[in-house]
Structure formats: structure tokens, C-alpha cells
């Protein structure tokens, strides 16, 4: 296979990669490609197709600020609608010619001698002056380790790999996991199955979603008066940002939010015994709170049972709990979330021979979630401490895009070639993150989640306001880097 050189190689064609491509073009960069292993752009929004798949942030906020969409059909966009939105953005802003789809990363490593990245893919080899990683952090399905699972004779699949050819109608279905995906697909499948058993390790906090179709008059107003869309976006931003009061300001702010969740529980669950099962035993915000109006009523159906006893083993036609109960099952659906480190992170190697994955396994480390010491000419989106527990991921991604594009523009204008984050800058930043995280609800709220490491530390959430983060990433702070011509 031939080797092709580009000034920039971008990995990932989801919200991060498409947004980067748009802003790179606006800044005058045209010699770049965007690689993605999928046959279509969209990232998580082309991969997840389970019933009920939708945004869990209002779509007016879960979209690019530079490409508002006045035509969302609902408050929370569905998967197909979000995917169509990303396709439209890529087309309108001239990104499509830069896409190299169905192209899986095999290996990417920094060549210190030549001062460039060597990127091997399933469709050829690239070299690049800069390598930009926009690979999504929710890219690989996570499966539980259950004794006897390999002996199960029925159908089993993960929500990320939904088997649309398998009809669940009239079946005895087990759902393992109660995260954000399960909360969306359980109400969709509950009415059609013979029985549904939800295996719950810990109950999620559920707060009102208040989803509804948007009226034609609303869409007309948003098309005619763009300022109205900005006002709606700003309102949602402020409401969601308010969760930071619980997350990292003072967990005593949790009480109004918990009251809202308990009121929803009392209103939507009639059975006191079931209500007790699905009442969380930890502070709201310790795990990701989930917006839903349909999940709790689905659990209250006559054909649905919630099991809080752990799973002892899986047999060919049943699941046995630790208490000895045997539940007959035709199909198992895993709603157990995603691995912490996508495969791509294991294939990106820095100056010292360490991969991104190896560094993240040591401890979550990055600077502003956008750069990593030991990785020259490398930037990333949603790296450790570049995600917020109280804001739309798209808002944080746009902040990182602005920082990365300003960095590349600054380096271009100064005639510089090599840039690498100073290790002492990263260490100082990580120490700040640790100090600010110590009293957060994520670490003190009485739960374990993907918000925390195995050692009980912050796994990578930014422990401050998202608008403060945006201020810090508004300009490339070149003094934090070693730069050579």
C-alpha cells in the first residue's frame, strides 16, 4: 500500500471530528483527512440504533453553536434525526471530501527522527505533521463477566450492537444493567415481550425529562428569529449548568434535585415494594442522573420485574441469582455501558513508546482534556478533565476545538513545526484537578461509577464550571508547550 502525507490527520467522524473539520477549513487548513472505522460518519450516533435511542440533553444544546437547527422534531432529538443533522453539517460545510470512512486505525506512532506521525490503517498508510484524536469515549461495548454465560442457548446482544433481526415479541427477556441506554430501550420493548426481568445493581436517579414534540409555529419562529434559538439554548445551558452546584460546589445543593426525583418515583411507581427497590441509596450526581418520563412506568408494568439480587450464574435457558432464584430467559440484552478505553487508545503511541491507553491506565492524565505530555504534535477532544458532568458534551467539544484550531493557527503563523506539552504544566494541572475533586459528590456521594477510578479518584470530569473551562481554552497558551521550528 502507498503512503500518503497530509498536514493533519483526524481520527473519528463523530461530533468531535466533524466539528474539527469545519473549523479547520474555516481557519484555512485544507490538507487534512478524517478517518473513521465505520462505513458512515456520526460516531456514537451511527453506532447506537437500539429502540428509543435519543439524546439525553435537549437538542438545542446538543448541537453545534455554529450550526443551529430550528427543525428538531422534539425537545430531545432521536438517533436518526441527530445522525441526519451531522450528515447535513458535513455536507453544508464541505467536510465530506475529507472523510476516509471504513478506514480502521491499526497503529499511530510519533517518529521523532522525521518529526511526524506515522499512521497505519486498514486502507493504507499516512504520515502527518499533526495527529488529532477525536475518537469517542463511548465506542466499545462493555460486557459483564458472568459464570456460564457462554453456555446460554438463547440470543444475547449488547445495546450498542442491537440485533434488529431478532424479534422480541412474546419472549422472556432479561435486561442486565440500568444505565442511560437501558432507561431508553426498556420502555420500548416492555409492551411487546412476554416477560421482562431487569437486573439492577444500583438504582439510577431518574428526573423528569419533559420531552414533547415541537410545534410547527415554534420551528417557524426559530427559522425566522435566530435570536430565539440562542435564547432557548442559553436557557437550557443555564439549567443544566446548575447541576454543578451539586457536583463540585456543595453536595447540600442536592436536596431540591433529590426531592424532584423522589416526587417522580412516588408519582410513577404505585407499588411501595417496587418503589423501594428503585430508590437510589446514594447522593444524586454521584452517578449520572438520567432524564426520563417513561422508564419508571415501564418498571411498574405487570409483565416487568426488577431483580436486585446479584447474578450467580447463567444456564442454557435461565439466569440464577445469588439467592437461588432461577428465572427462565429466551434473550439477554446487555445495557452495561462502555469500556473506559476505546481500542484506538491502545494503538496511539507517543514519544516514549507508551500508548494513550497505557498512560490512562496509570492514571487519568491530560491537560485541559486536549493535550498529553509525551505526545508531540498531538491534540485530542474529550481527554481526561475535558468532559463535564454538568454540561452538554458538545459544548465541551467546541471549547476544545477552538483551543486546538487556535494552537495550529498560532504554530502555522509562527513557522513552528514541533509542539509538545511541558510535563510540569500537566502535573500542575493534574494537582489542581485533584484538589478541586476531593470534596465533589462524584467521590463522596456513596457510589461507584465511571466517574471514578478503581482507586476512588476522579476519572476525568472537569471539577469546575463549563464557562470557566471555556475561558481557559479560548486561546492557545503557547508558554505551556515546548515549541521548536
Residue 462 has pLDDT above 80, yes or no: yes
Confidence of residue 134 (pLDDT cuts 50, 70, 90): very high
Residues 375, 356: contact at Cβ < 8 Å?
Answer: yes
Residues 192, 166: contact at Cβ < 8 Å?
Answer: no
pLDDT given for residue 1 in this prediction: 64
Residue with cell 479547520: 24
Least confident among 32-36, 155-159, 214-218? 214-218
How many whole angstroms separate alpha carbon 67 and alpha carbon 57?
A: 17
How many whole angstroms separate alpha carbon 260 and alpha carbon 255?
A: 9
pLDDT given for residue 463 in this prediction: 97
How many whole angstroms separate alpha carbon 432 and alpha carbon 428?
A: 6
C-alpha cell at 148: 456460564
**Average pLDDT value over all residues in the chain:** 96
User: Bridge partners of 127?
Assistant: 5, 118
pLDDT given for residue 450 in this prediction: 87
pLDDT (tens digit, 9 = 90+) per residue, 232-290?
999 999 999 999 999 999 999 999 999 999 999 999 999 999 999 999 999 999 998 99
Confidence of residue 136 (pLDDT cuts 50, 70, 90): confident
Per-residue DSSP letter, 28: T
How many whole angstroms separate alpha carbon 190 and alpha carbon 168?
A: 10
Burial-class residue 365 by CB neighbours within 10 Å (0-12, 13-18, 19+). buried
**Length of the chain in terms of residues written:** 485
Closest CA to 140 of 100, 189, 104: 104
Confidence of residue 485 (pLDDT cuts 50, 70, 90): confident
pLDDT (tens digit, 9 = 90+) per residue, 303-357?
999 999 999 999 999 999 999 999 999 999 999 998 878 899 999 999 999 999 9
Q: Is the dihedral of CA 206, 207, 208, 213 positive or negative?
A: negative
- Compute how many other C-beta atoms are within 10 angstroms of the C-beta atom of residue 366: 25
How many whole angstroms separate alpha carbon 111 and alpha carbon 117?
A: 6
The model's pTM is 0.95
How many whole angstroms separate alpha carbon 386 and alpha carbon 397?
A: 8
Provide the 3-class DSSP secondary structure of residue 120. Answer: strand
Residues 120, 54: contact at Cβ < 8 Å?
Answer: no
How many whole angstroms separate alpha carbon 337 and alpha carbon 454?
A: 17
pLDDT (tens digit, 9 = 90+) per residue, 167-181?
999 999 999 999 999
Helix (H), strand (E), coil (C) string for 285-352: CCCCCEECCCHHHHHCCCCEEEECCCEEEEECCEEEECCCCEEECCEEEECCCECCCCHHHHHEECCC
Amino acid at each position: 500500500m502507498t503512503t500518503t502525507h497530509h498536514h493533519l490527520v483526524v481520527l473519528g467522524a463523530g461530533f468531535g471530528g466533524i466539528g474539527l473539520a469545519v473549523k479547520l477549513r474555516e481557519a484555512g487548513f485544507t490538507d487534512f483527512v478524517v478517518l473513521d472505522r465505520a462505513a458512515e460518519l456520526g460516531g456514537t450516533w451511527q453506532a447506537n440504533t437500539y429502540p428509543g435511542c435519543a439524546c439525553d440533553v435537549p437538542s438545542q444544546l446538543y448541537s453545534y453553536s455554529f450550526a443551529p437547527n430550528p427543525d428538531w422534531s422534539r425537545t430531545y432529538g432521536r438517533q436518526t434525526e441527530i445522525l441526519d443533522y451531522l450528515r447535513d453539517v458535513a455536507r453544508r460545510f464541505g467536510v465530506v471530501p475529507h472523510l476516509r470512512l471504513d478506514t480502521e486505525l491499526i497503529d499511530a506512532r510519533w517518529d521523532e527522527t522525521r518529526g511526524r506521525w506515522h499512521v497505519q490503517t486498514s486502507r493504507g498508510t499516512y504520515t502527518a505533521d499533526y495527529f488529532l484524536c477525536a475518537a469517542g469515549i463511548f465506542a466499545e461495548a462493555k460486557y459483564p463477566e458472568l459464570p456460564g454465560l457462554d453456555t446460554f442457548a438463547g440470543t444475547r446482544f449488547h445495546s450498542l450492537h442491537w440485533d434488529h433481526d431478532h424479534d422480541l415479541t412474546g419472549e422472556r427477556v432479561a435486561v442486565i444493567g440500568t444505565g442511560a441506554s437501558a432507561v431508553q430501550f426498556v420502555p420500548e420493548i416492555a409492551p411487546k415481550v412476554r416477560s421482562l426481568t431487569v437486573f439492577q445493581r444500583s438504582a439510577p436517579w431518574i428526573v423528569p425529562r419533559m420531552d414533547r414534540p415541537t410545534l410547527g409555529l415554534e420551528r417557524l419562529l426559530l427559522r425566522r428569529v435566530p435570536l430565539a434559538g440562542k435564547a432557548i439554548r442559553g436557557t437550557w445551558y443555564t439549567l443544566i449548568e446548575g447541576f454543578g452546584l451539586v457536583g463540585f460546589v456543595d453536595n447540600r445543593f442536592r436536596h431540591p434535585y433529590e426531592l424532584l426525583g423522589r416526587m417522580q418515583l412516588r408519582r410513577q411507581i404505585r407499588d411501595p415494594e417496587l418503589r423501594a427497590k428503585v430508590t437510589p441509596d446514594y447522593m444524586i450526581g454521584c452517578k449520572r442522573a438520567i432524564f426520563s418520563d417513561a422508564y419508571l412506568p415501564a418498571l411498574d408494568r405487570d409483565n416487568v420485574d426488577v431483580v436486585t439480587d446479584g447474578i450467580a450464574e447463567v444456564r442454557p435457558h435461565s439466569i440464577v441469582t445469588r439467592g437461588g432464584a432461577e428465572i427462565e430467559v429466551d434473550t439477554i440484552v446487555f445495557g452495561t455501558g462502555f469500556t473506559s478505553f476505546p481500542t484506538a487508545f491502545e494503538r496511539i503511541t507517543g514519544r516514549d513508546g507508551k500508548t494513550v491507553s497505557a498512560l490512562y491506565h496509570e492514571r487519568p492524565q491530560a491537560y485541559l482534556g486536549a493535550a498529553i505530555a509525551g505526545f508531540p504534535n498531538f491534540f485530542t477532544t474529550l481527554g481526561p478533565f475535558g468532559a463535564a458532568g454538568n454540561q452538554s458534551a458538545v459544548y465541551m467539544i467546541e471549547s476544545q476545538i477552538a483551543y486546538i484550531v487556535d494552537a495550529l493557527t498560532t504554530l502555522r503563523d509562527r513557522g513552528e513545526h514541533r509542539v509538545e506539552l511541558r510535563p510540569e504544566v500537566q502535573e500542575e494541572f493534574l494537582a489542581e484537578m485533584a484538589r478541586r475533586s476531593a470534596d465533589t459528590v462524584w467521590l463522596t456521594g456513596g457510589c461507584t461509577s465511571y466517574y471514578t477510578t478503581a482507586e476512588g479518584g476522579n476519572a476525568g470530569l472537569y471539577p469546575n464550571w463549563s464557562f470557566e473551562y471555556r475561558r481557559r481554552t479560548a486561546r492557545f497558551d503557547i508558554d505551556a508547550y515546548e515549541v521548536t521550528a
